[in-house]
Amino acid sequence: MTKPVCLVTGAGRGIGAATAEELNQRGWRLALVSRTGSELQSVCARCAEAIAIEADITRSAEVERAVDATIAAFGRVDAAVNCAGSAPLAPIESTTDEQFRDAIDTNLAHVFYVTRALWPHFKRQKSGCIVNLSSFSSRDPFNGFGAYAAAKAGINLFSLVASREGAPHGIRVHVVAPGAVETQMLRQNFSEKVLPAQKTLAPSAVAKVIAQIVAGDLACTSGEIIWVHR
């Protein structure tokens, strides 16, 4: 059988890169999307069958171009994992318009753009899987995570609606919401003194859960939030 294809956003580092490597080990072909081409090339080099697509996922036209490039390269797309994120840490009174919009666009709007772009392809195939990366912050955020938490909470409810709309067409939509994960994004906001490494998850641990979902092992959780924490 033809190897399945997965599009991964935020694939240059962190959970996105770990997800790409986990799916590669399971025999998936990959379309890796990020705003940073150099990081993508490094991840691609560690995968057997992968293409790098440098794109700004906060722009719907760029997302549509990434989906088109995936189908042009592989002839199909079976799943998407939306890992791209931005986590500004600022009190409400000092959060700028730009910070708020970037948090919403990077975390939430891009999930909508990817879902909308893939929907007609999945409907034609009568199958498809989308995994959206949320956060424990959507339930219990740190102070200063107003924009980030709002965006991640939006992902939870958008994914629930999408799962219900997709069910008649064989489309699954899942949410993975990890606690603190040892990534560059985390360490930009919190030092190890504030959040010790022994209290964080490895990106590979989250990637294994994502891979189980994509493979169909957790198909019954479509529409649900899977909380992953230590």
Residue range 136-154, pLDDT digits in tens: 999 999 899 999 999 999 9
CATH domain 5-228 topology? Rossmann fold (3.40.50)
211 is written with which tokens? 């891979």
Q: What is the pLDDT of residues 83-101, one digit of tens each?
A: 999 898 899 999 999 999 9
Q: What ranges do the domains of the chain cover?
A: 5-228
pLDDT at residue number 1? 57
List 148, 177, 211, 226, catalytic entry: 148
Is 113 considered catalytic here?
Answer: no
DSSP E strand boundaries for the chain: 5-9, 29-34, 50-54, 79-82, 128-133, 171-178, 225-228
Task: Say how many C-beta atoms besides its own lie within 10 A of residue 161's C-beta.
Answer: 12
Rg (CA), the chain: 16
Q: For the chain (length 230 residues), average pLDDT per consecutive 10?
A: 92 96 98 92 95 97 98 97 92 96 97 98 98 95 93 98 98 95 77 82 95 97 94
Pairwise CA distance, residues 21 & 36, whole Å: 18
128 and 118 in contact (C-beta within 8 Å)?
Answer: yes
pLDDT of 182 reads 80
Q: Distance from CA of residue 47 to its chain's centroid?
A: 18
Give pLDDT, residue 193: 81
CA–CA distance, 13 with 19 (Å, rounded to integer): 10
Residue 13 dihedral angles phi and psi, to the nearest 5° = -160, 180
